[in-house]
Chains A and B, each alone.
Chain A
Amino acid sequence: LAKTTQPISMDSYEGQEVNITCSHNNIATNDYITWYQQFPSQGPRFIIQGYKTKVTNEVASLFIPADRKSSTLSLPRVSLSDTAVYYCLVGDMVSNFGNEKLTFGTGTRLTIIP
């Protein structure tokens, strides 16, 4: 199970683009990278998932370099409502055994400043 490392906290101003990087040096061939968002006193919410290069949806983009040892979650033009904890998870989607426990790391506490 690949371990992930993220910054503990980040601050950003409203309207800016925010990039949160996750390090996963021992990622395995079959592992996918998944990001969750959690607001206080709520359950985590799936944001985006990818295997390589770039994935984009209506909420965020996920950039994964060729060596896949890190990934960057990009939130465009953040607002106060993006203040939350963001978790990076790495797991095997093919065999269903890599992250069968759906284990969360420490996460990044993002604070958006008006």
Chain B
Amino acid sequence: DTEVTQTPKHLVMGMTNKKSLKCEQHMGHRAMYWYKQKAKKPPELMFVYSYEKLSINESVPSRFSPECPNSSLLNLHLHALQPEDSALYLCASSQVRGDTEAFFGQGTRLTVV
């Protein structure tokens, strides 16, 4: 199984809502990543988890809150988002942090209204 599964695929939320994005992998990878991608731009790193601990936070606003409950799961909790936060949110995993062969999920298309 070389899949990274993200749910939901699409999400529309209001600026006062609280929602969560979920990511799951069963490849035994110990590094997991959240990226944000705007249209026609490269993916931008948000967070890196290594062995279930937050390793890198790329100065992401606190309205995005990551969580890694176990080695297979990664969540991104969303609260009080702005319309400019609308984007494709991608989850990825790799064997260890720094391994450049990473596996990406299909992403969650988020629209903030």
Q: Which residues of A approach B to under 8 Å, CB–CB?
A: 32, 34, 41-46, 49, 87, 89, 91-93, 95-107
Could you say which residues of chain A place their CB within 8 Å of the CB of B90? 43-44
Q: Which residues of B approach A to under 8 Å, CB–CB?
A: 4, 33, 42-45, 48, 55-56, 58, 88, 90-92, 94, 96-107, 109
A sample of 30 cross-chain residue pairs with beta-carbon separation below 8 angstroms, ordered by A number, consists of A32-B100, A34-B100, A34-B101, A41-B107, A42-B104, A42-B107, A43-B90, A43-B92, A43-B105, A43-B106, A43-B107, A46-B103, A49-B101, A92-B98, A93-B99, A95-B98, A96-B97, A97-B98, A98-B98, A99-B98, A100-B48, A100-B56, A101-B56, A101-B58, A102-B45, A102-B100, A104-B43, A105-B42, A106-B42, A107-B42
Query: For the complex, would chain A's binding face be called helix, strand, loop or mixed by DSSP majority?
Result: loop
**B100 A91 Cβ-Cβ under 8 A:** yes
Could you say which residues of chain B place their CB within 8 Å of the CB of A99? 98, 100
**B98 A96 Cβ-Cβ under 8 A:** yes
B48 → A minimal CB distance (Å): 7
Could you say which residues of chain B place their CB within 8 Å of the CB of A32? 100
Q: Which of B88, B91, B100 has the most CB of A within 10 A?
A: B100
**B4 A100 Cβ-Cβ under 8 A:** no
**A93 B107 Cβ-Cβ under 8 A:** no
A43, A89, A107: which contacts B104 (Cβ < 8 A)? Answer: A43
